[in-house]
A and B are shown apart, each in its own frame.
Chain A
Amino acid sequence: MLKIECPFCGNRNETEFSCGGEAHIARPLAENKITDLAFSEYLFMRDNPKGVFLERWCHTSGCRRWFNMARDTVSHEIIEIYAMGQKPKTAIGKKAFLSNWRRKSKAETASTPIKRTAK
């Protein structure tokens, strides 16, 4: 069983947690008007890497708070645990974040507001 360090409750058994799947999936903004194909990348496509994976976890049986985790899917090593809304800080975590195909996807590009130039 994995031992997971909850940011609020400390070291607990894996059975107290639930995994929320891939982290850092940004919703495209309506104003950007992307195609259905690009939106389906956001809606349906999930990564399943062999190696470091950035996931969301929730301490369901404890404080019921969400947090992010960088975990190696081969060795189950927990590389890093970081807060919601933040990006990984370790070199391995950063690499996994930047090398993800999603960083270049149209859906993610469309998740930031359109830059408007002042008149």
Chain B
Amino acid sequence: MDNKPLQMGVGNSAFSNKKLPIIKKPQSLDSPQITLSEIPHLGKLNIRCAGDDRQQISKLTGYNLALQTNQLSSKAGRHAICLGPDEYLLLAEQGSETRLEKMLNSDKIINKIAVTNVSDALCALSLSGLKVRELLSKGCAIDLHPDSFGRNKSVQCDLALANVIIACIEANETDEFLCICRTSFAEYVLDWMIDAGYEFGIIARSYA
């Protein structure tokens, strides 16, 4: 890997003003074992709803909300994370979250729902590679072994004291994880990940 400064995100993403450090790969490693990138402008909706309304919301939006707490469901690249018995986080492509929000708020069948657009409050980081589990386990006390933390599992915890949502999107040789944190903590979380991932070889990539 050459020593060019790495660029993260595009436009007004959480890291647009951040000058990223030059990351050198440890010489002992042939290839970086973790790839880290921000998913800029990902639409995020926080939904509070009663159990009876879940079916209608699922039907309307196409997300599967029949989930237990700390589970994730994926459908055509769109993810829904269950944050609590009556709370969900919907991830949608940029721009589509406002349409979803309007659709849910104006639906006549849904009895009680609170939709909050948290797109700018939260920042999504994508992590993949062989050593992602090892990297994350350096900062949180969650059992991240594939046997207990497999595909479609998510968890809300403290990662190096910053509150995050960690979700496993793909569990295979090159695990794919999603890490969602507060935008105000994003720079810190990113710095921590780059530092903690140094020993494994980490490459920070732009999605653009």
Contact = CB atoms under 8 A, between A and B. Distances in A.
Contact of A12 (B69, B84, B157, B163): B157
B141 A63 contact: no
B158 A63 contact: no
A49 interface: no
A72 to B, nearest CB: 24
Contact of B70 (A9, A15, A61): A9
Contact of B84 (A13, A15, A16, A63): A63
A35 to B, nearest CB: 39
B65 interface: no
A86 to B, nearest CB: 15
Chief secondary structure at chain A's binding surface? loop
Interface residues on A, range: 10 to 19
B5 interface: no
Nearest to B70: A9
Interface string A1-44: 00000001100110110000000000000000000000000000
A64 B84 contact: yes
A8 B158 contact: no
A12 B155 CA distance: 11
Contacts of A16: 157-158
Contacts, number: 32
Chief secondary structure at chain B's binding surface? strand
Interface residues on B, range: 10 to 19
B69 A8 contact: yes
Contacts of B70: 8-9, 63
Contacts of A64: 83-84
B85 interface: yes
B98 interface: no
Given A8-B84, A13-B141, A63 B69 contact: yes
B13 interface: no
B157 A62 contact: yes
A16 B164 CA distance: 12
A51 B141 CA distance: 29
A8 B157 CA distance: 13
B183 interface: no
B83 A63 contact: yes
Nearest to A1: B141
A61 B70 CA distance: 13
A58 to B, nearest CB: 12
Interface of B: 69-70, 83-85, 87, 141, 155-158, 163
27 contacts: A8-B69, A8-B70, A8-B84, A8-B85, A9-B70, A9-B155, A9-B156, A12-B141, A12-B157, A13-B141, A15-B158, A16-B157, A61-B156, A61-B157, A61-B158, A61-B163, A62-B156, A63-B69, A63-B70, A63-B84, A63-B85, A63-B87, A63-B156, A64-B83, A64-B84, A65-B84, A65-B85
Given A61-B156, A62-B156, A63-B85, 9 more contacts: A9-B69, A12-B157, A15-B158, A61-B157, A62-B155, A63-B69, A64-B84, A65-B84, A65-B85
